[in-house]
Structure 1
């Protein structure tokens, strides 16, 4: 079944470009488009949308504000696509529930793969964005993670996630199965109240805060 997509961007040229590229792939179905965050929120409330592709800088409601409402009011997963890797938006977008944060400059295949990953419940964030988060948090963190919450193995996995490793890479590094890694991540999410692996990375890098 095709992944139902909403494309939200205030630039009509960008919207049409994404629609043209993605509609050529039978894996996707474009069910709507929006030119601002408010339109995106209303569409997701009233229609079945699997993944919403949101620009950050939009009028009326920006992509971060729209992300918060979409995640609160619908089952739609949000993938942020932007031409900017702005420090001011990244943390909030992820905190409010965005499952991915990519630059629009990525090739179409990478964006398509990211959409599929987000639809499957995975989080996607590219290295240039993760590096921004690390830089910001290193200069502002003052807290300390309570290590007593986690087993030694769980903490190893938290640290590995913060380095951007996939489950497959973690399993190879720690000599355990991918299924075991996934089980540990589920436990970590439960203990911290977080929702996905990108938030775990921020939790670690921000010394226990998000």
Structure 2
């Protein structure tokens, strides 16, 4: 692997999709498509054998779907997963984000958007803008209501490692605020916010902001529709 090279695996059960994405990505000097997969099980195997950085992961695949495959690829050295979907509010996207995906792409994405997304995720950032993440997760949190008691119990257990200020930062991230907006709300510097975000991710064992927002909703820390 050369400096700056992004190693990519494409997982989709349609050959034309795999070939199309491979052709597009191959036009970029810093991208190398190191493998393709027809189903989730093959995707997991290929990712582990080829040591890739980013996976373009379809959700609906035979043998093993993309959600289960995403969950199996968790770990400190695991590749970042970009979910491929037809609709931007597909309920399976929420499941994939909860399983560990870093974001999602629509299958009709433009070439430039595809390139940008791969680079953003490979650099360790979440693909989705916070407001988009919030809209997606809040929509499906509404469809999967949890009792307040259960939410409170989960929040106490999962988030107990956070300091009060770190909890505040997580709540604001889930509300869709960017780092500068969080800094303004808390009246601290942006670098301080970045430090808090880093500590939140580390303590909760999360890889990026998208996962932090998922955690905030899953735990009941943020309730859809609340002020």
Quote the residue 1:2 is aligned against: 5
Partner of 1:68: 71
Of residues 20, 25, 29 in structure 2, which corresponds to 1:22? 25
Q: Deviations over 1:96-119 (max 9, x none)?
A: 221122222332222222211211
1:196 maps to which residue? 208
Native 8 Å contact 2:100 2:211 kept in 1:
no
Counterpart check, 1:134 vs 2:138: yes
CA displacement at 1:130 relative to structure 2: 4.0
C-alpha distance in 2, partners of 1:150/1:74?
Answer: 24
Task: Provide TM-score, normalisation by structure 2.
Answer: 0.78
Aligned-residue CA RMSD (Å): 2.7
- Please give the TM-score of this superposition, normalised by the length of structure 1: 0.84
CA contact (8 A) 1:36 1:62 kept: yes
1:201: Cα distance to partner? Answer: 1.3
In the TM superposition, what are the counterparts of 1:21-170 in structure 2 within 5 Å? 21-72=24-75, 75-84=78-87, 85-87=89-91, 89-125=92-128, 130-138=134-142, 140-141=145-146, 142=148, 143-144=151-152, 145-146=155-156, 150-151=162-163, 153-170=165-182
CA distance in 2 between counterparts of 1:190 and 1:11 reads 37
> Which aligned segments of 4 or more residues in structure 1 are displaced greater than 6 angstroms?
none
SS in 2 for 1:164: coil
Alpha-carbon distance in 2 for matches of 1:81, 1:61: 15
Q: CA deviation at 1:150?
A: 4.8
Structure 2 gap ranges (5+):
223-227
CA distance in 2, matches of 1:96, 1:60: 18
| C-alpha distance after superposition, 1:171-201 (max 9, x if no partner) | 4554543321121012223444444322221
Equivalent pair of 1:82/1:102 in contact (CA under 8 Å): yes
Unaligned runs of 5+ in 1: none
